[in-house]
Amino acid sequence: MKKFSVKTIVAIGIGAALFFVLGRFVAIPSPVPNTSISVQYGLLAFLSVVYGPVAGALVGFIGHTLIDFSYGWGIWWSWVIASAVFGLLMGLSAKVLKMDEADMGKKGLIKFNLAQVVCHLICWFAVAPVLDVYMMGEPWDKLLAQGLMAGVANAVTTAIVGSLLCVAYAATKTKAGSLTKE
């Protein structure tokens, strides 16, 4: 079993706390009941590609659990699991995105955003609704409206927040050959 570095453990803790704060206090109500426009998925996508799939899954799982717990209506496990799956899938996409190579130009941003849109589609049109039906007995029409709202809103906010974080992170990385003498 691969052990986490101290850096990764700290990133999971801080990431889960930030996910909670953003999801609880920066969420914008949407016209669809029990669904909000959330900016925390941009942070989750970024942390997942930098620290990997397990870290991303843990940030999504812990952060979303804390959000649901703080509202007092109980933990909606199907959506908590969907957030964890989003972190996991974005972390798996890191091999294609190659954030460690400091190339976050147009091509890098297109790859990042294609990956996050696909991951959101999987999570909010498959994982969350299917688990809602089997775990909570929710009706499909309600779930489709919630999934559509969450999927589109999360993809848009991730495109903005996640892209900005990726560009800022890439700017801090040393580019290959930048330290050679001319």
**Tens of pLDDT, residues 23-77:** 999 989 888 887 889 899 999 999 999 999 999 999 999 999 999 999 888 898 9
The CATH code of the domain that includes 24 is 1.10.1760.20
Q: Which domain holds residue 91?
A: 6-172
Q: What is the pTM of this model?
A: 0.89
Cα 29 to Cα 41: distance, rounded to the nearest angstrom: 16
For residue 1, is it within any domain? Answer: no
Domain count of the fold of the chain: 1
Place of tokens 């989750």: 44
pLDDT over 70 (residue 107): yes
For residue 119, is it within any domain? Answer: yes
